[in-house]
Amino acid sequence: MRRPQHRVHGYCKQLLSLDDQNVLKKAVDLSLKWYDVKVQRDPDGLIFKQIKYKGVYYKAICNHEEVFVPSPDFFECLDEIDCVEKPIMVDYVWLIKIKSQDYNILASAGPCTADRNSLRPTSGRMFLSKSVIREATEEIHRGGLERLMDTIRHEIAHGLFLLGDLVDLYPNSKLHVIKSTRFTVYPEIINESTKEDEHFIGYSFPKALEKARDYFECPDLKYVEMENRGNGDHFETDFLPYEFMRSFGDRDMQFFSAITYGLMEDSGWFKVDYSMAETMPPVNSGKNPCNFAKSCEFGDYSETSDFYTKCHPGRKSHYVDLLDVSPRGRCEIPQIISCGLASQQSSWRCLEHAGPYIFKSYSSKVPTTETLHSPQCYQIKCNLGQVQFVSNDVTYTCEKPGQRIYLYESYGLGNHFYNFYARSSQGALNYRKKYKDYIIERTVICPEFCEVCAEQEPETCVHIPTFNMLLSSSFPLLSSNYFIFVSFFSLNV
């Protein structure tokens, strides 16, 4: 499958610095890779209305106020007499406008024009606050670019397929959209401890529902639950707390899951490659996974302690210590440590420990001892098929996968154990910061080389595709093409 071709252009009137412009364009480019899909293209190309404003010709999008700045890269006819504008041979045109610093909405997006036959959106506009881009530039080495990419790829989804108004255009949408109450949809969850009933919006489109059932291990799940305070534009945070299309974002990791790709395909406008989906962390569903999927009631933590000792798929994150949960929406979920965000480095990966590890503090007259359970992020060095990891400024070499390496390390003020620091750097202060002198004793399990080194040594770890695209001859498909026009100027709001 060929990568989609796209062109990014900009027009600047001193609203963004050159660094901000470069960061934005890079974030747009990174965001588009998640939309490497097949699309049914109009063979006649896209034609946009041309208007003349103050003697200059523009191509209009949405209405006369939403226009593209003049650019020879975008259209051929400027002021030439008898010039006939040719269609643009792309699948989608984006206009990104930068709002001024005092704009109180960080980002928004939506579709503008649609294909007259399939009703697939063919253009859209996106508003970004200048402050979002500025923050990404200032925190470029602390995950800033990744967070801006998350914002942009989230907004792209709204312009392509995930808005309540667009969902109404899906095949048989009236049969697959429900607005009811939770207890009406799932009466089996009602018991003495059940929370109050609430409004419920759900989608039962086949591809998305299949992927949600797989994720929750719940074959009788009826709906993919959507945000109940809106128009079905986002997944409900309590239902999919780690999905990038949930109803609100934060600095935690956000995953472009197979459920989103499924909904994209359910639209009837796209064919997707599910192997590109990011694997979301599993939820602690206890002995009854369907109960969590339907009510967000977690299982008994004490019975599932092993659940919190494992790295997440891809080894880029892990849950924090057992029983360490945080409210998000109306439910409590385990917090995540993102190796990249916490370390500010892309080479860090999660490694697991052989059994619990020991925390011993000598900061007071009576020593304190605790047993901890979570994995840990380590700096990884890859050297010709051999894994090395760094802990407390010491490099350890793994001779083979599964090898156990025992660590007995001293920490204190100015040199805290990484897991404590990682939580603090993500906004969750840890009470153990007060300790001045303590020991961490644990045994690290060496990983498979390609589990942690595939990005550092891709030539050693050859990726084998897990998905083969089968295309129906009745559905002419081409790789997606995007024309991105980024206009850097302030708007009056």
The H or E element containing residue 159 is: helix 144-160
Q: Is 155 a catalytic residue?
A: yes
Buried b or exposed e, range 90-111, using 16+ CB within 10 angstroms: bbbbbbbbbbeeebeeebebbb
Which residue's structure tokens are 């009631």?
297
The total number of residues written for the chain in this structure: 493
Give me the pLDDT at residue 357, please: 81
Question: Is 353 assigned to a binding site?
Answer: no
Dist CA 262 CA 479 (whole Å): 18
Strands (E), 204-252: 224-226
Q: Quick one: pLDDT at residue 489?
A: 38
| pTM of full prediction above 0.85 | no
> Does 234 belong to an annotated binding site?
yes
- The partner residues of 332 in beta bridges, in order of sequence, read 327
Q: Which of 76, 80, 85, 155 is catalytic?
A: 155
Going by C-alpha positions, the residue among 101, 95, 204 that lies closest to residue 155 is 95
**Residues 38/270, Cβ–Cβ less than 8 Å:** yes
CA proximity to 61, closest of 479, 483, 416, 420: 483
Q: What are the sequence ranges of the domains in the chain?
A: 5-141+480-488, 173-315, 347-453
Q: Classify domain 173-315 at the CATH class level.
A: alpha beta
Residue 64 and residue 51 in contact, taking contact as beta carbons nearer than 8 Å = yes
φ/ψ of residue 131, rounded to 5: -65, -35
C-alpha–C-alpha distance, residues 434 and 302, integer Å? 27
For domain 5-141+480-488, give the fold: Elastase; domain 1 (3.10.170)
Assess whether the region 5-141+480-488 and the region 173-315 belong to the same CATH fold: no
Q: Where are the beta strands (DSSP E) in 46-120?
A: 50-53, 56-61, 63-67, 92-99, 107-114
> Residue 150 corresponds to which tokens in the numbers above?
């998350």
141 known member of a binding site: no
User: Do 464 and 454 contact (CB within 8 A), yes or no?
Assistant: no
User: What's the alpha-carbon Rg for the chain, to the nearest Å?
Assistant: 25
What pLDDT score was predicted for residue 51? 64
- What phi, psi does 228 have (nearest 5°)? -90, 0
What is the full per-residue pLDDT of the chain (493 aa) written as tens digits?
333 445 555 554 456 788 888 888 888 888 888 898 888 777 777 766 666 666 666 666 665 555 555 554 555 555 555 556 667 777 888 888 887 755 567 888 988 888 888 889 888 888 888 888 888 888 776 666 878 888 899 999 999 999 999 999 999 999 999 999 999 999 988 876 667 788 999 999 999 999 999 999 899 999 999 998 878 899 988 888 889 898 765 555 678 999 999 999 999 999 999 999 988 887 765 667 788 788 876 544 444 556 678 888 889 888 876 444 454 456 667 777 878 776 667 788 999 999 888 888 776 666 777 777 788 899 999 988 899 999 988 999 999 999 999 999 888 766 777 666 554 444 333 545 566 778 889 999 999 999 999 888 888 886 433 322 222 222 333 345 554 444 443 333 3
Q: Which helix (H) or strand (E) holds 373?
A: none
For residue 138, the number of C-alpha atoms closer than 13 Å in the C-beta half-sphere is: 6
DSSP secondary structure letter of residue 364: S
